[in-house]
Chains A and B, each alone.
Chain A
Amino acid sequence: MNPVIVGFIGVGILLLLLFLRMPIAFSMAFVGFLGLAYLNSLRAAYYTLAVDILEIFSSYPLSVVPMFVLMGTFAFAGGMGSRLYKAAYIWVGQLGGGLVMATVLASAGFSAICGSSPAAAATMGKIALPEMKKYHYDDTISTGAVAAAGTLGILIPPSTVLIIYGILVEESIGKLFAAGILPGVLLTLLFVVTVSILCRRNPSIAPSGPRTSWKEKVGSLTLVIETLFLFLFVVGGLLVGWFSPTQAGGIGAGGALVIGLVRREFSWKKFILSCEDGLRMSCMIFLLVAGGTIFGHFMAVTTIPFKLVDWVMGFQLPPAMIVALIALMFVFGGFFMDSMAMLMLLVPIFLPILDHLQLNLVWFGVLVVLFVETGTITPPVGVNVFVVKGIALDVPLETIFKGIFPFFAAIIMLIILLIIFPGITTFLPSLVAF
Chain B
Amino acid sequence: MLRTLEKMNHYISAWFERIGIIALLLILGLTCVDVIAAKLFRVPIHGAIDIVTLSQVVAIAFTIAAAQIAGRHIQVELFVSRLSEASQVTIDSFIYFLQLILFAVIAWRTYVLGRALQMAEEVSATLFVPLYPFVFAITLGCVPVCIIFLLKFINSVIKVLKR
Residues of A within 8 A of B (CB): 17-26, 29-30, 33, 46-47, 49-51, 53-54, 57-60, 62-63, 66-67, 70, 242-243, 246-247, 249-251, 253-254, 272, 275-276, 278-284, 286-288, 336-338, 340-341, 380-381
Question: Are B99 and A26 in touch, CB under 8 angstroms?
Answer: yes
A residues less than 8 Å from B113 (CB atoms): 47, 50-51, 54
* Min CB gap A257→B, angstroms: 8
Does B21 count as interface, using CB distance less than 8 angstroms? yes
* Min CB gap A16→B, angstroms: 10
A270 to B158, CA, bound (A): 39
Q: Could you list 17 A-B pairs, sorted by A, with CB under 8 Å?
A: A19-B80, A46-B109, A47-B109, A54-B57, A54-B138, A62-B56, A67-B31, A70-B24, A249-B31, A254-B31, A275-B24, A279-B63, A280-B67, A283-B67, A284-B74, A286-B60, A336-B76
Question: Are A22 and B31 in touch, CB under 8 angstroms?
Answer: no
A162 to B18, CA, bound (A): 29
* Min CB gap B32→A, angstroms: 4
B residues less than 8 Å from A272 (CB atoms): 21
- Our pick among B60, B76, B79, B135 for the contact of A282 (Cβ within 8 Å) is B60
A-B CB pair tally, cutoff 8 Å: 172
Interface residues in B58-83 (C-beta closer than 8 Å to A):
59-61, 63-64, 66-67, 70, 72-81
- Our pick among A26, A53, A250 for the contact of B110 (Cβ within 8 Å) is A53
A residues less than 8 Å from B24 (CB atoms): 66, 70, 275, 278-279, 282
A residues less than 8 Å from B77 (CB atoms): 21, 381
A333 to B67, CA, bound (A): 25
A residues less than 8 Å from B72 (CB atoms): 280-281, 283-284
A104 to B98, CA, bound (A): 43
Interface residues in B34-58 (C-beta closer than 8 Å to A):
34-35, 39, 49, 52-54, 56-57
Question: Are B91 and A21 in touch, CB under 8 angstroms?
Answer: yes
A340 to B75, CA, bound (A): 12
Interface residues in B119-158 (C-beta closer than 8 Å to A):
134-135, 138
